A and B are shown apart, each in its own frame.
Chain A
Amino acid sequence: MSNFPFVPENPKNGISRRRLLGGAALAAPAVAGLALTRGSESAVAESPHRAGHAGHSEFPHATFASGRSVDHKSNGFHPTELLRDFDYGKTRRLAGGRVLREWEIVAHDREIEVAPGVKYEAWTYNGRVPGPTLRAREGELLRVRFVNASEHPHTMHFHGLHSALMDGMPGIGENRGGGQIEPGEDFTYEFDASPFGLHLYHCHVAPLAAHIARGLYGAFVIDPKAGRPEADEMVMVMNGFDTNFDLANEVYAVNTVGFHYVDEPIQVQRRSPVRIYLVNVLEYDPINSFHIHGNFFNYFPTGTSLQPTEFTDTVIQGQAQRGILELEFPYDGDYMFHAHVSEFAELGWSGFFRVGDPSRMPAAAAASMYCDLPWGKGSPA
C-alpha cells in the first residue's frame, strides 16, 4: 500500500471557504472600475495567509502520489524483509580449526522500481539493491566467489584489510584472474575478516560514480569475536537514484524504495534494544544524514570500537561512511526517521518506526499516537 499520505476524507470545509474568499477578492475590482489597481493589490496581500493555512492541513509531509505502489515481487526484493536480512554464507572448519566462510555473488543487470511507477535500469549484486548484507565474525577466513553475469565489467571492492590482489581494483591482478572482471568471467576474493565493525563493498570499475549509483553496493558486517549484545538488528543503506542521468538524484531512500518505511513502518518493541547498521553509499551528493524523532541513540562510527563516541539524535555521513546506532524506544507510537538534509527527506528518504501495536489499544489512544493514515487505522501492514 502506497497511498500515503491520504487525502482527508472530507476536505470540504477548507475548500468552500477559500472559494468564497477568492470570489470576493476578484469581484471587487471589476465592479468599481477605478479601483482596479487597489483592488488587486489587496487581493495579493490577503492570499499568502489563505494559501499557507489551507494548504498545510492537507499536506502533512512530502509523499508520492496515492493509488499505486511499488511491485516488490517483480523487483525481486522487499525493503521490509531486506532490513533484517543478514547473509551469513556457508561455513566450514579448516584444518587448523579456523572458520572458512563462503559466498557466491552474481552481478546482474535488472530493471527495478525505485518509486511507485518509476523504473530504473539497475546493476545489482544477487538481483537486489542494496546487495546482500554479508556478515562474518572477526578472524574468520572469507571467500567470495564473484560471477559477472552483467553486460558490463564489474568488481567487488571490499572495505577492510586485504592484499592488493583482493582489492577488486581494475588494473591490479588481471594477470592472475583478478582486477576488472569482464562479463562472463568470475573471480574469488579471499581475505581475513578484519577489522571488526561495519563496512561496505561496491564495484570499483570506472566510471566509478556511475557503477556505484547504478546499485552495485552492499553492507559488510564483521562482528567482534565476543559478539555484540542481543538486539533487534537491522541494516539501512542510504542510497539514491539518478533516474534521468543528469548527475543529480531524483529519488532518495534507505534500502532503495523511496518512502517505503512510511508506507510500511518498521515494527519494533518498546524498551527493547534496537541496533541499526547505517551505511551511506549516496552518489552525487556530498553528505547524507540520519535523524530520529523522539529518541536518542549511541553512535559507534564504523563500528570499530565498542565504546560509543556520541549520544545524539542526528548523524552526518559522507559517502562510504557508516556507523552503528544503538537505541531503545521509551514510548509507544509512530516515530519518524529521515535524512536531516530535508531535501532528501522530501524526495523519499523518510520512514517511521512503529513502537507497540495500535490494534491492541483503545481507538482513542491509538489515534493520538499513531499516524492518521489508512494503515494507521486498521492492521499494520
Chain B
Amino acid sequence: MEAGARAERGLGGGLPAWALGVIPLALIAIAIGGFALLGGPGLGDRSGPPIEEVAIEQTVLRPGEIELTLRNDGPDPVEVAQVAVNDAYAPFVADGGREIGRLSSTTLRIEYPWIEGEAYEIFVLTSAGGTVEASIPVASETPENDVSFFMLMALLGIYVGVIPVSLGMLWLPFLRRLGPSWMGGLIAFTVGLLAFLAIDAGLEGLEIAAEAPAAFGGTGLVFVGGLVAYLVLAGIDSYLSQRSRAAKGSGASSAGAAYLALLVAIGIGLHNLGEGLAIGSAYAGGALALGAFLVVGFAIHNTTEGLAIVAPLRDEARPGLARLLGLGLIAGAPAILGAWIGAAAFDPSLAALLFGVGVGAIVRVIVQLAPAMRDPEGRLLYPVSVLGILAGIAALYLTGLLVSV
C-alpha cells in the first residue's frame, strides 16, 4: 500500500489531480490525430474490393410501387445502380440519393405492378456488381399512417392488451377464496408465466436482431436492452425500499404486496410493448392478416397475464378499483404504443432493443417475486411451487399455440 502511494507520487510529481486525469486523454487525442493525418503509417492501403453490407430496414407496398429502405452497414460507401423485382429490372427513384454513406440510409421507390398475395424477391444491384436481396413473402398493401390507421392500431392494442389483462385481474376474488397455503403456488404460477414470456421475448428479439444492421449492435442489442432494464429496475427498487424504510411505512407486508403487483404489471407492460411492436410491424408489412382468430388468441393468451398481476394481491385488505385499473393499464396499454411504433416506424434495431428491455424487466420481476414463493420452511422449490411454475409455463405455451404468427 505504501509502496503504491509512493510510486504514484513519483510519477505524478506535484501535478494536481485533474491534470493527471486530462494528460492521458490529451495524449490519446494527439496520437489519433497524428495517425489520421499521416494516413495510418505502416498499414498501407486496404487491399481487396470494397466491402458492401447493406441491410433492408423497411419494406412498404403501395399500389404499383414497392418502397425499400436500405441502410449501409459496411465500412465503405455503397452506390445503388439498378433494381430488379422477380428477375425483371424496374425503374426506381432513390429519395436519399443512390450513394449511401456508412451507416446512412436511402429509400428506393420502385415502380412495379405487384399483385396482392404473390411473393416477391428483389435484388438491388450495386455499382460494384454486388447484390442486396429483399424478399416479400406475401404482398399486401401497407396501410397508410393516417389517423384512422392509428385508431385501428389503438383498437388492436386495446383488444390484445388492455381488455384481456383487465379481465384476467377479475380472478382476484376467486384467489382470495383460496386458502393461504395456495399463495406460494400462485406466485409460482406467475413466475412460470413470466419465465415463459422472458424466453419468448428473448427469442423473438434475437430473431428480429438478426435482420438488423450489425453496425448498430445486432443481437447484442437484445442483451444490452435486457441488462439495462434489469439494472434500472433494480436501482429504482433499492431507492424505493430505502425511502419506504425511512418513512417507516406501516403495514409493510401489504405495501410489499402492492409493490410486487406493480412490478409484475411493469414487467408485463414492457413485454406487451414488444408484443404490440411485433403485431404492428407484421400488420404493416402485410405478414399478418388481422383475423378474428388471431385477436381472440392474443386475448386468451394475455388474460393469463392479468392473473399474474393480481396473484400477489391475494392477501391485501381491499385494493381500490382505481388501482386495479391502473395496474391493468400499465400492463396492457404499452401494447398500443408498441403497435403504433411497430406499424409506423418499425426499425429492427429499436425492436431488438425493446424486446431486450422486456426480457430484462421480466427477469428482474421474477427475482423480486421469487421470495414470496417460499414455503414456511423457506424452500424455493418444493412440489407446489414447482407445479405452479410448470402450470404457468404450460398455460402460456398452450394459449400461445393460438397466436403463432
Q: Do A and B form a real pair?
A: yes
Contact A51 B81 (CB under 8 A): no
When chains A and B are docked, how far (Å) is the Cα of A241 from the Cα of B128? Answer: 12
Contact A30 B64 (CB under 8 A): no
* The residue from A37, A63, A259, A346 contacting B292, defined by CB atoms under 8 A apart: A37
Chain B min CB distance to A114 (Å): 8
Contact B64 A37 (CB under 8 A): no
* The residue from A40, A54, A241, A244 contacting B289, defined by CB atoms under 8 A apart: A40
Residues in B neighbouring A48, C-beta threshold 8 A: 115-117
Chain A min CB distance to B354 (Å): 25
Contact B155 A33 (CB under 8 A): yes
* The residue from A26, A64, A120, A348 contacting B148, defined by CB atoms under 8 A apart: A26
Contact A27 B148 (CB under 8 A): yes
Q: How large is the interface on B (under 10, 10 to 19, 20 to 34, 35 or more residues)?
A: 35 or more
Residues in A neighbouring B127, C-beta threshold 8 A: 117-119
**For the complex, is A56 an interface residue (Cβ under 8 Å from B)?**
yes
Residues in A neighbouring B44, C-beta threshold 8 A: none
Residues in B neighbouring A66, C-beta threshold 8 A: 91
* The residue from A36, A37, A47, A343 contacting B87, defined by CB atoms under 8 A apart: A343
Chain A min CB distance to B304 (Å): 23
Contact B63 A22 (CB under 8 A): yes
Residues in B neighbouring A119, C-beta threshold 8 A: 127-129
**For the complex, is B89 an interface residue (Cβ under 8 Å from A)?**
yes
**For the complex, is A229 an interface residue (Cβ under 8 Å from B)?**
no
How many residue pairs, one in A and one in B, have C-beta atoms under 8 Å apart? 150
Could you give, for residues 55-73 of chain A, a 1 whenever the CB lies within 8 Å of some chain B CB and a 0 otherwise? 1101100111110000000
Could you give, for residues 127-147 of chain B, a 1 whenever the CB lies within 8 Å of some chain A CB and a 0 otherwise? 111110000000011011010
**For the complex, is B88 an interface residue (Cβ under 8 Å from A)?**
yes
Contact B123 A250 (CB under 8 A): yes
When chains A and B are docked, how far (Å) is the Cα of A54 from the Cα of B141? Answer: 13
Interface residues of B in 54-103 (CB under 8 A from A): 62-64, 79, 81-84, 87-93, 98
Question: Which residue on chain A has the smallest CB distance to residue B147?
Answer: A30
Contact B131 A51 (CB under 8 A): no
Chain A min CB distance to B367 (Å): 39
Say whether, besides A37-B295, A62-B89, A54 and B64 are in contact (CB < 8 Å). yes
**For the complex, is B291 an interface residue (Cβ under 8 Å from A)?**
yes
Contact B149 A65 (CB under 8 A): no
Say whether, besides A243-B125, A244-B130, A115 and B292 are in contact (CB < 8 Å). no
When chains A and B are docked, how far (Å) is the Cα of A31 from the Cα of B151? Answer: 8
**For the complex, is A5 an interface residue (Cβ under 8 Å from B)?**
yes
Residues in B neighbouring A7, C-beta threshold 8 A: 91, 111
Could you give, for residues 339-354 of chain A, a 1 whenever the CB lies within 8 Å of some chain B CB and a 0 otherwise? 0000100111000000
Residues in A neighbouring B295, C-beta threshold 8 A: 36-37
When chains A and B are docked, how far (Å) is the Cα of A49 from the Cα of B215? Answer: 41
Contact B63 A30 (CB under 8 A): no
**For the complex, is B32 an interface residue (Cβ under 8 Å from A)?**
no
**For the complex, is B113 an interface residue (Cβ under 8 Å from A)?**
yes
Residues in B neighbouring A93, C-beta threshold 8 A: none
Residues in B neighbouring A258, C-beta threshold 8 A: 89
Residues in B neighbouring A31, C-beta threshold 8 A: 148
Say whether, besides A30-B148, A47-B141, A64 and B82 are in contact (CB < 8 Å). yes
Q: For B113, B115, B143, B289, which residue has the most chain A Cβ atoms within 10 angstroms?
A: B113
Residues in B neighbouring A18, C-beta threshold 8 A: 63-64
**For the complex, is B114 an interface residue (Cβ under 8 Å from A)?**
yes
**For the complex, is B152 an interface residue (Cβ under 8 Å from A)?**
yes
Contact B141 A51 (CB under 8 A): yes
Interface residues of B in 11-33 (CB under 8 A from A): none
Residues in B neighbouring A30, C-beta threshold 8 A: 148-149, 151-152, 155
When chains A and B are docked, how far (Å) is the Cα of A128 from the Cα of B79? Answer: 25
When chains A and B are docked, how far (Å) is the Cα of A351 from the Cα of B187? Answer: 73
When chains A and B are docked, how far (Å) is the Cα of A31 from the Cα of B155? Answer: 10
Question: Which residue on chain B has the smallest CB distance to residue A348?
Answer: B89
**For the complex, is B290 an interface residue (Cβ under 8 Å from A)?**
yes
Say whether, besides A30-B152, A117-B98, A250-B131, A62 and B64 are in contact (CB < 8 Å). no
Residues in B neighbouring A117, C-beta threshold 8 A: 79, 81-82, 98, 127
Contact A47 B89 (CB under 8 A): no
Chain B min CB distance to A58 (Å): 6
**For the complex, is A183 an interface residue (Cβ under 8 Å from B)?**
no
Contact A36 B89 (CB under 8 A): no
Chain B min CB distance to A56 (Å): 5
Chain B min CB distance to A52 (Å): 6
When chains A and B are docked, how far (Å) is the Cα of A348 from the Cα of B90? Answer: 11
**For the complex, is A374 an interface residue (Cβ under 8 Å from B)?**
no
Q: For B63, B91, B128, which residue has the most chain A Cβ atoms within 10 angstroms?
A: B63
Question: Which residue on chain B has the smallest CB distance to residue A7?
Answer: B91
* The residue from B84, B116, B130, B146 contacting A44, defined by CB atoms under 8 A apart: B116
When chains A and B are docked, how far (Å) is the Cα of A23 from the Cα of B146? Answer: 9
Could you give, for residues 346-373 of chain A, a 1 whenever the CB lies within 8 Å of some chain B CB and a 0 otherwise? 1110000000000000000000000000
When chains A and B are docked, how far (Å) is the Cα of A366 from the Cα of B375? Answer: 93
Could you give, for residues 16-32 of chain A, a 1 whenever the CB lies within 8 Å of some chain B CB and a 0 otherwise? 00100011001101110
**For the complex, is A50 an interface residue (Cβ under 8 Å from B)?**
yes
When chains A and B are docked, how far (Å) is the Cα of A347 from the Cα of B125? Answer: 12
Contact A244 B155 (CB under 8 A): no
Contact B129 A250 (CB under 8 A): yes
**For the complex, is A318 an interface residue (Cβ under 8 Å from B)?**
no
Question: Which residue on chain B has the smallest CB distance to residue A43?
Answer: B141
Chain B min CB distance to A83 (Å): 22
**For the complex, is B196 an interface residue (Cβ under 8 Å from A)?**
no
Interface residues of B in 278-300 (CB under 8 A from A): 289-292, 295
Contact A250 B63 (CB under 8 A): no
Contact B91 A63 (CB under 8 A): yes
Contact A115 B144 (CB under 8 A): no
**For the complex, is B355 an interface residue (Cβ under 8 Å from A)?**
no
**For the complex, is B112 an interface residue (Cβ under 8 Å from A)?**
yes
Contact B116 A347 (CB under 8 A): no
When chains A and B are docked, how far (Å) is the Cα of A41 from the Cα of B141? Answer: 12
* The residue from A22, A41, A52, A65 contacting B115, defined by CB atoms under 8 A apart: A52
Say whether, besides A54-B64, A244-B129, A64 and B89 are in contact (CB < 8 Å). yes
Question: Which residue on chain A has the smallest CB distance to residue B154?
Answer: A30
When chains A and B are docked, how far (Å) is the Cα of A247 from the Cα of B292? Answer: 46
Q: A36-B159, A259-B89 are in contact. List 6 more A-B contacts (CB 8 A).
A: A47-B63, A50-B63, A65-B93, A117-B127, A118-B82, A258-B89
Nearest 3 Cβ contacts at the A-B interface: A55-B113, A243-B129, A346-B88
19 contacts between A and B (CB under 8 A): A5-B91, A18-B64, A23-B146, A30-B152, A33-B155, A43-B141, A47-B116, A52-B115, A54-B64, A116-B81, A117-B98, A243-B128, A243-B129, A243-B131, A246-B131, A250-B123, A250-B129, A251-B125, A347-B87
A interface with B by C-beta (< 8 Å): 5, 7, 14, 18, 22-23, 26-27, 29-31, 33, 36-37, 40-41, 43-44, 47-48, 50-52, 54-56, 58-59, 62-66, 115-120, 241, 243-244, 246, 250-251, 258-259, 343, 346-348
